[in-house]
Structure 1
Amino acid sequence: MTSTTDVLISGAGPTGLFLALWLTRLGVRVRIADPKPGPVQETRAIAVQARTLEFYDQLGLGDEAMRRGRHFDRLNLFVRGQWRGAVRLRGVGDDLTPHPYLYILTQDQNEALLVEHLCGLGVAIDWNTEVTTVTQDNEGVTATLERDGPPEVVHARYAAGCDGVRSAVRHALGIPLSGGTYQQRFYVADITLSGKVREGDVNLSLDDDHFLAFFPMPEPDRHRVVGQLGPDAPQNATFEAVRDELEANGLAHMERLHWFSTYRVHHRVADRFRVGRTFILGDAAHVHTPVGGQGMNTGLGDAANLAWKLAQTVHSGLENLLDTYETERRPFAVSLVNTTDRVFTGIVQNSLGARFVRLAAIPTLLPLLTSAEAVRRLLFLTVSQTRLHYPTSPLSQGAAGRVRGGDRLPWLSLTDGRSNYDALRALTWQVHTYGPPAPEFLAWCTQHDLPLHVFPSTRRSRRAGLSPHAIYLVRPDGYVGLACPTVDLDALDAYVNRWVRVPHNNSFDGRTALSV
């Protein structure tokens, strides 16, 4: 059997499903295949950050996501079973994002949500189906799909490997996954428990030779527990091998075990994120420690970055955008792996220096440092991924106010309960101004079929760094492409002619897209 599609996606985890949904919303034909029999049933990854929730809002999934999970904003620190302090993030992000908290929405919940929306758009997922051979030329990608029965050959214009750390697509492309693996073994458990750990918060416990991290689950008194196996633990260790240390000092008492697994932690980044017409995303491109709950969110960020670029290329035939995927996403992956590696090493190593950091330095310094609002704000910006930007991308040009090309568009709450992010649900290039636009600029937007959204210039917008009367050309993923302090039609023309293609069905008429 043979078939054709625009984009073939290998892997129906959160990254692949999110990529498929965004592409489908933009009118791109997709095929998505996964050797699993269906969405995962285990909780696995558990947190979605504010930036991910903003992407969900753009796709119309935000309200449903908020009905399924729970938020938290405090981390408690225990040392040798005794509570030593807490870090609270409440309030530090209220002016930064519509989601100023950390959010629990487990991997199985994310996958169920994405599958439901894909099915609602008529996209069938090829479960029990593996993408095996992948070849490509200047015209497209040819792949073999193996399942029960005869194999299928799929011809696609582009392909995306979202198929995990053992990615068949990455191996077919010959891309190394450079880095290493920690010597220690770790475990993860999904447990209903009681004890000193505080319900609804993250709880971190540090001890002489191990650490424990407890993350709240959507159900009351249910926690995700991450810990380190001792050197004498058997290869096929069960929960009983770690139960004593978990229940020591009354820290926790296990009432019901839902899931338990052991694993090794990698810190690796692929040497390339693109070869020809094929891309890799998520764990296929980068894998790192669970510190900060960044893994699933980074894969979803990969998908949000690539989806609109693929869609514009499919519809326009111009491929210059596609080079910017690796340019923007790989440096962030490298930085993330290096940062989480340093933090994780300080927590899990058993040297005298690491023990001093774990038992003395962290308990003493963490409450002092995080008592300053500036430190807590920086921590939230980093963990929430709202600080992520692309300053060196060729797509990022200009500056106006404190906003530069490549920055995430500052979120601005309006007086009527709306926000400037409501406009991003169009999933298209658009222009934002804060103050009345000049008549010649309105005519320019009409000529280029670009939606123009006009917001009032207020103290709040200026505090967010948005300059009155400046022009912000915003990408479909909510990042600023070009920022002009004044109307500069030559700069706008040069940028649009190089990078921007607006869908032919865009209905902008110079009037109806105005927002006030």
Structure 2
Amino acid sequence: MTRTTDVLISGAGPTGLFLALWLTRLGVQVRIADPKPGPVQETRAIAVQARTLEFYDQLGLGDDAMARGRHFDRLNLFVRGQLRGAVRLHGVGRGLTPHPYLYILTQDQNEALLAQHLARLGVTVDWNTEVTTFTQDRGGVTATLEHGGQRETVHARYAAGCDGARSAVRHALGIPLSGGTYAQRFYVADLTLSGQVREGDVNLSLDDDHFLAFFPMPEPHRHRVVGQLSRDAPQDATFEAVRGELEANGLARVERLHWFSTYRVHHRVADRFRAGRAFLLGDAAHVHTPVGGQGMNTGLGDAANLAWKLAQAIHGGAAEALLDTYEPERRPFAVSLVNTTDRVFSGIVQNGPAARFVRLTVLPSVLPLLTRAEVVRRLLFLTVSQTRLHYPASPLSQGAVGRVRGGQRLPWVPQADGRSNFDRLRSLSWQVHTYGPPAPDVLSWCAQQALPLHVFPTTSASRRAGLDPLGIYLMRPDGYVGLALPTFDRAALDRYVARWVHVPPPAPAARHARPS
């Protein structure tokens, strides 16, 4: 028995589930398999950034996500048990995004959210199912799925490896995950705490030979704690090996241990994100330190970038050229992210007199001063929230109107009625935006191309966002500007549409895998 599907997804973590959900919404048949018995029960990754919440809004998950997590708006810095400064983050992204804050929504909560919405569309995950062999040719990919000793062959048009740092798909493709591993060992603990650590805030504690980071969890007084193991800690170190440093100086008092694990941190990026009809996403493509809460969010961004491209290829539009843009758009960001978090993390964990001086003296003095400046705080938010991420070198990114260029995320513009221009992105389709009355030629051209045209009024908010009243913005389905033109240019629009844009018929209901 060989079953067929459009896209085979290996791995049902947040990245694989989000990819499956977006594809299903676009009428693509998916099969998603994972060797785990079900969604993770541990918290693992804990934060979703503003750009992720914007994607969730696009797919209609936003309200559900906001009902499950919690905000935090301050970073407290302790040095040798003494509070030395605080950075207020509340509202720092106001006017930039509908989500101008940092938000706690743990990995297990994200997986439950995504799996539930996927199930509502009639798609279930094949748990306890492992992809054991994988081959491909010009016609598609063929994989063997093993479940409880039984084997099944699946043929798909495309495959997506969302199966983590030990990705079976990446290994089958022979793609190296280049980089290294930090010599230090670290631990992560899920704890209910009292003490000096501030409830609902992120708390960073620096000492002579170790650091501690406390992240608020959705439940009151519950924290995710990340720390560095001492060099003489045993390989099978338990929580008791680190309890003393946690409770030193009255910093924290452990009320309950929920779970504890030790690990090593890698900083690696796959040499390629695509090989033929197979793609790598999330931890299968890049792994790095947890600094900045970027890992899970970057995988979700990979899925948002690839999903509509796969759907368009399957529905018959600009297949190879469009799919070729996935790697050059996502890999450079992954490389930059790994390099940046590597530098920050190395500065925190390094030992030696110079490193200790920077960590214990310079950082506590400089950080509160720097972050008092609004421009610095907004730059930090833009970077951490991933709303600044753009694709300037992509062949999909063309044209410029004032401050807005092809490849940039569409600036968010709230409307007087409480809605915003982002609401139109929920169609997950190519569309044209104007922020002033469109010329008659724009109206007739959009009608000829069967492209939705959304006309927004010129307001002070649209002008602050850099959107020109005469500009024409051809939007990608993932909310990035594809083509930006200062005035109507039929030839430029026709060339762009002919190469990149496909307007499919209305998406059919989700289909299930069928035997061939």
- TM-score exceeds 0.5: yes
Q: Distance in 2 between matches of 1:91 and 1:33?
A: 40
Aligned ranges 1:16-31 → 2 under 5 Å: 16-31=16-31
In the aligned structure 1, how far is the partner of 2:256 from the partner of 2:272? Answer: 43
Deviation digits for residues 382-414 of structure 1 (CA, Å, limit 9, x no counterpart) = 000000000000000000120000000000111
Per-residue CA deviations over 1:342-368 (Å, capped at 9, x if unaligned) read 000000011222111110111011011
Distance 2:397 2:50 in 1: 23
The 3-state SS of whatever aligns with 1:266 is strand
Counterpart position of 2:143: 143
Residue 123 of structure 2 is aligned to residue 123 of structure 1: yes
Alignment partner of 1:247 is 2:247: yes
Work out the CA distance in 2 between the residues paired with 1:461 and 1:397.
21
Where 2:496 maps in the other structure, the secondary structure is helix
Matches within 5 A, 1:45-56: 45-56=45-56
State the alpha-carbon separation in 2 of the partners of residues 317 and 158 from structure 1. Answer: 15
Number of the residue aligned with 1:388: 389
- The separation in 2 between residues aligned to 1:281 and 1:75, in whole angstroms, is 31
State whether residues 318 and 500 of structure 2, in contact with CA within 8 Å, keep that contact through their aligned partners in structure 1.
no
User: How many residue pairs end up in the alignment?
Assistant: 506
Q: 1:76 matched to which residue of 2?
A: 76
Q: Is the 8 A contact 2:438 2:455 kept in 1?
A: yes
Moved over 4 A (4+): none
* Rounded Cα–Cα distance in structure 2 between residues aligned with 1:271 and 1:120: 36
Residue aligning to 1:226:
226
Tell me which of the two structures has the higher relative contact order, counting C-alpha pairs closer than 8 angstroms and 6 or more residues apart.
2
Question: Structure 2 CA distance, aligned partners of 1:330 and 1:158?
Answer: 19
Do 2:317 and 2:500's aligned partners in 1 also have CA atoms closer than 8 Å? no
Matched, 1:419 2:449: no
Structure 1 position 30, deviation (Å): 0.2
Deviation sequence 1:194-239 (CA, Å, 0-9, x none) = 0000000000000000000000000000000000000011111111
State the alpha-carbon separation in 2 of the partners of residues 228 and 85 from structure 1: 22
Gaps of 5+ in 2: 508-516
Match of 2:482 in 1: 481
Written as runs of structure 1 = structure 2, the 5 A alignment for 1:255-404 is 255-316=255-316, 318-319=318-319, 320-404=321-405
1: CA distance, partners of 2:222 / 2:166: 31
SS of alignment partner, residue 291 of structure 1:
coil
Q: Deviations over 1:415-465 (max 9, x none)?
A: 110000000000000010000001121010010010000000112111111
Where 1:292 maps in the other structure, the secondary structure is coil
Q: Does 1:96 align with 2:96?
A: yes
Contact preservation (8 Å) 2:48, 2:102: yes
What do the CA deviations read for 1:243-276 (whole angstroms, capped 9, x no partner)? 0000000000000000100000000000000000
Q: Deviations for 1:143-197, whole angstroms, at most 9, x for unmatched residues?
A: 0001114300000000000000000000000000000000000000000000000
Closer, same or farther in 2 for the Cα pair 1:155/1:317, shift >3 Å? farther
Measure the CA separation in 2 of the matches of 1:241 and 1:342. Answer: 28
Match for 1:454: what amino acid?
A: V
- Counting only pairs closer than 5 Å after superposition, residues 68-217 of structure 1 correspond to structure 2 as 68-217=68-217
Gaps of 5+ in 1: 507-516
Code of the aligned partner of 1:436: P
Which residue of structure 1 lines up, in the alignment, with residue 38 of structure 2?
38
* C-alpha separation in 2, matches of 1:370 and 1:232: 37
CA 1:19–1:60: 2 relative to 1, 3 Å: same
Does the 8 Å contact 2:2/2:155 carry over to 1?
yes
How big is the shift at 1:504? 2.0
Question: What secondary structure, in the 3-state scheme, does the structure 2 residue paired with 1:390 have?
Answer: coil
- Separation in 1, partners of 2:341, 2:132: 32
- Distance in 2 (alpha carbons) for counterparts of 1:161 and 1:504: 28
> TM-score when scaled to structure 2?
0.97
Counterpart code for 2:154: V
| Cα deviation, residue 317, structure 1 | 5.2
